[in-house]
Amino acid sequence: MDVKIEASWKAVLNDEFNKPYFQQIPLHLKTEKEQGKKIFPPGSQIFNAFNTTSFDHVKVVILGQDPYHGPGQANGLCFSVSYGIPQPPSLMNIFKELHDDIGVPIPNHGNLTHWAEQGVFLLNASLTVRNGEPMSHSKIGWAGFTDTVIKMISDQKKHVVFLLWGKFAQEKRMLIDEGKHLILRAAHPSPLSAHAGFFGCKHFSKTNEYLVAHGIDPIDWRL
């Protein structure tokens, strides 16, 4: 499979693309499409997180579970939606915490591309999903691939901030070297759990404090 992906990621992940498990992923997606199933995001956006934030520029990693499973929502950046799409509830809670933490005005859209362009790597553990079926592609090989991505970032970079929201994301902690990176953990921003520790976590200000302390430009969180 020839993956169209930004050059610095291609260099880091080239061996992974040639492994048998990865070669099965496009076959699986092709079969489902032939069966008439709708898959999100569109093919051109599956690797959007990688193509918007190069490996060389990763400063912060936010980990999601899988893409939004409603029509038009997923755009390849976790928690993000394209312009004109209503903000999903988890994203609204992220913006609320951002406002309470550092006073950033709550935006009238949900497109997080501006964060990604500054080095916030918005990675979903699964890069695709079937329409209306959350976690439907969690077992087709994506998890092994994105675990490798997280480990590569941990092994080959230093002073990256990992924001792990919710139990699923926090299970990835074992892939990260806490000796040279900052891991910030909180409840998931979903309305079901945001009041159990996401609100008040101050992850946005803590991220910038850590980056500045290590001589790295902070993130402009305004959208």
Cα of 172 vs its chain's centroid, Å: 13
Cα distances (angstroms) measured from residue 123 to each of 35, 37, 108 = 28, 24, 23
Contact 144, 43 (CB under 8 A): no
Q: 213: which residues sit within 8 A by CB, 6+ positions away?
A: none
Query: Which residue numbers are catalytic?
Result: 66
| DSSP annotation string for 122-143 | EEESSS-EETTBTTTTTTTTHH
Residue corresponding to tokens 């087709």: 140
Residue type, 16: E
